[in-house]
Structure 1
Amino acid sequence: MEYSPPPLFKQGASARVKMTVFACISIALLLVDARMRTLTTVRKAAATVLYPLQMAALLPRDAIYGVGDYFSTLSSLEKQVRELKRQQIAGALVLQQAQLQTAENNQLRRLMAAREHLPVKSMLAEILYDARDVNSRKVILDRGTQQGVALGLPVIDNQGVVGQVTRVFPFTSEVTLLTDKEQAIPVQLLRNGLRSVAYGRGKSGALELRFTAPNADIQVGDIVVTSGLDGVYPAGLAVARVSQVENSAAGSFGGVVCQPLGGISNNTQLLILMSTPEMPPRPPDEETRALKKHNNKMAPIKEAPKEGVEPAAPAAAAPANNAPPGLMPVMPPPAPKPAPAPAAGAGTGAGTPAAAAPVAAPATTAAAPAAAAANGQPAPAVAKPKEPAR
């Protein structure tokens, strides 16, 4: 049984004929367009008419691509922002370290410049940390007894005095700052040389000149330097600047407030002066002088006997002129002199020269009992001198 469309649907030529005709038309149009360029205008007009339709057809695709690009771009931008922030933080840290190193280098240069002008030897030290006692003003340095640090050494910076070493350990040392309440330093005004003592005021970070006369020549802005009277700080080191002068109308003393010139709280390196100024020997006290002067007026000072030398026997009292010539106790003279020979033919007046000769002869024998008594031995017998012939 043959199947074929009904007669109603049978129209025109067959499909094979139609394909052949359309193929020939297409080839002809291609040849005409290639040779004569006659379809260019038609093509442009068709593209113009169909452009809105093309854009409308591409909208879903562009929307999908745009959403994908948006999220990918957002993710990449977030990564870039995080990376830039990290780089910014790292750069800020590097910048801060560079600024800190620059400040430290500048401070070290100033310290080295100040070190060259110091009259004594100094040592560079770094502040490790503040003391644990919040009621005191102290810092800990990285130098100790192993580096030659001793108690009482002054500590300065390039601007002035900072404090004094009050405790020493093998590898560290404790420095009490000028502003501590227990710290005092002899000072004088640079302008007129007025001397005083500066005391710390604790947490306020200032110094005070106590017990100053109400009419003292002190002005705001005066520079206060060390006087060198304590034997610890060299004279002429800057200490503070007068910031306030308090004159009490009722009291007999006034108060002067000063601000330290040294970097009390903003230093990282300090200079330790390794020696204190030499002081002249202390003069003797006035009482000792007066006592020595009084003793010199009363009696001469006897020297102590040397070892191996026996003390001399006490001198006997001077004999009276009316004692018998042969019984006078006579001390041995330093160098006995021979008695002069009596003159011949002397009369009654020659009795005195003749009687003087036996006096010098028994001098040695008369001193023997005294020497024996001093040595603890029995005294030898002494021969009685003969009376001179009349």
Structure 2
Amino acid sequence: MPVPGHQPPPFFKRGLPLSAKLTIYLALSLALLVADLRLRYLDTLRQGVAILTYPLQIAAATPAEFVRNTGNYFSGLVGLQRENERLSANQLVAAQELLRLEQLKAENSQLRGLLDMRARVKVNSIAAEILFTARDPFSHRVILDKGTSQGVGPGLAVVDAEGVIGQVTRVFPLHSEVTLLSDKEQAIPVVVARSGLRAVMFGTGTGLMELRFLAANADVQLGDQILTSGLDGVFVPGLPVATVVRADRDSGESFGRIICKPIGGVAKSGSVLVLGRAEPLPERPAAENASPERSAAGRIGRKQSEPESQP
């Protein structure tokens, strides 16, 4: 207990000097560090402090993380847009190449079919391309890129890789006009491949063809293939023409109605063959070479028409 009126010495009033306090604290810190290094007694305390300060760390790092994530999002969005544009352009180029390859494949198949057709018909032929369809809506005609300059003549048969499509009706120096078999003014002598029945096929003007003047009980069935008979001297015999798709038979009618679908067609290919004739057509007989009966009749008619001479 302090004595009243007694003052403590200056040493106890001031305490330890700062250098002494620093030395003590450093020594204590080193001792604690060495003890923790050897005994690991502060691990539990350290883990507890880390748990308690973790929310504070998250709260402190959230603004910076938000800014960094926002920047990454927008930069990634721009990169994805550029990548999408690049992939779309590559896809467009690939689609164009694929379409071109498909067209080349189809054209190659058509040309192979034409080569097979040329080898099968055994006649001279001229390869041609279909330029466009004639403008007349009431007729089925197409225009070829070959004319008299290339040896195309009127009346020649025109085929594609599948079968007959028509006949040359008009010829010009550099192009020609082909009337399709489906035209209502076109007719072709044919034969039914299965039964050997001969007939004449006419166009209907609607894209189909009709076998006319056949008896109602004629041996024609659905799916029968119709071939050229070659009786006209224009179309080579044995060329595919059409397939029977409908056969209407009425017992009360003398003739049946048999509808066929053309095998070849301009919608299937753009390349065709203009076939020459297997044998030249015989020349038309001249008036001098007519039969004696007709010549005599002609002479008699001329004599009767001549005035009698005066004696």
Q: Which residue of 2 aligns with 1:186?
A: 189
Alpha-carbon contact 1:153-1:276 (below 8 Å) kept: no
- What's the RMSD between the two structures over aligned residues? 3.2
Q: 1:64 to 1:37 in 2, by over 3 A?
A: same
Task: Give CA deviations for 1:243-274 in whole Å, capped at 9, x if unaligned.
Answer: 22222344332221111122342112111113
Q: Which residue of 2 aligns with 1:37?
A: 37
Q: 2:115 aligns with which of 98, 112, 129?
A: 112
Q: How many angstroms does 1:216 deviate by?
A: 2.5
Task: Give CA deviations for 1:160-205 in whole Å, capped at 9, x if unaligned.
Answer: 10111222233322222111112111112223332221111123x2
Q: Which residue of 2 aligns with 1:147?
A: 150
Q: Which residue of 2 aligns with 1:128?
A: 131
Q: How many angstroms does 1:97 deviate by?
A: 1.4
Q: How many angstroms does 1:67 deviate by?
A: 1.8
Equivalences for residues 105-254 of structure 1 within 5 A: 105-203=108-206, 205-254=207-256
Quick one: distance in 2 between partners of 1:225 and 1:140? 25
Q: Which residue of 2 aligns with 1:345?
A: none
Q: How many angstroms does 1:146 deviate by?
A: 2.3
Unaligned 5+ residue runs, structure 2?
1-12, 299-311
Equivalences for residues 12-51 of structure 1 within 5 A: 18=18, 21-22=21-22, 25-26=25-26, 29=29, 33=33, 37=37, 41=43, 43-51=46-54
Q: 1:265 aligns with which of 267, 270, 290?
A: 267
Q: 1:216 to 1:21 in 2, by over 3 A?
A: same
Alpha-carbon contact 1:234-1:277 (below 8 Å) kept: no
Q: Which residue of 2 aligns with 1:8?
A: none
Quick one: distance in 2 between partners of 1:274 and 1:23? 123
Task: Give CA deviations for 1:196-221 in whole Å, capped at 9, x if unaligned.
Answer: 21111123x21101222223232222
Q: 1:105 to 1:18 in 2, by over 3 A?
A: farther
Task: Give CA deviations for 1:335-359 in whole Å, capped at 9, x if unaligned.
Answer: xxxxxxxxxxxxxxxxxxxxxxxxx
Q: 1:49 to 1:213 in 2, by over 3 A?
A: same
Name the SS of the counterpart of 1:159 in structure 2.
coil
Name the SS of the counterpart of 2:121 in structure 1.
coil
Quick one: distance in 2 between partners of 1:294 and 1:270? 49
Structure number with greater Rg is: 1
Q: 1:77 aligns with which of 80, 89, 92?
A: 80
Task: Give CA deviations for 1:304-328 in whole Å, capped at 9, x if unaligned.
Answer: xxxxxxxxxxxxxxxxxxxxxxxxx
2:166 is matched by which residue type in structure 1? G
Q: 1:164 to 1:86 in 2, by over 3 A?
A: same
1:187 is matched by which residue type in structure 2? V
2:208 is matched by which residue type in structure 1? A
State the identity %: 42
Q: How does the TM-score come out when normalised to structure 1?
A: 0.63
Name the SS of the counterpart of 1:235 in structure 2.
coil
Quick one: distance in 1 between partners of 2:242 and 2:263? 5
Q: How many angstroms does 1:280 deviate by?
A: 4.5
Alpha-carbon contact 1:151-1:167 (below 8 Å) kept: yes
Count of aligned pairs between the two proteins: 282
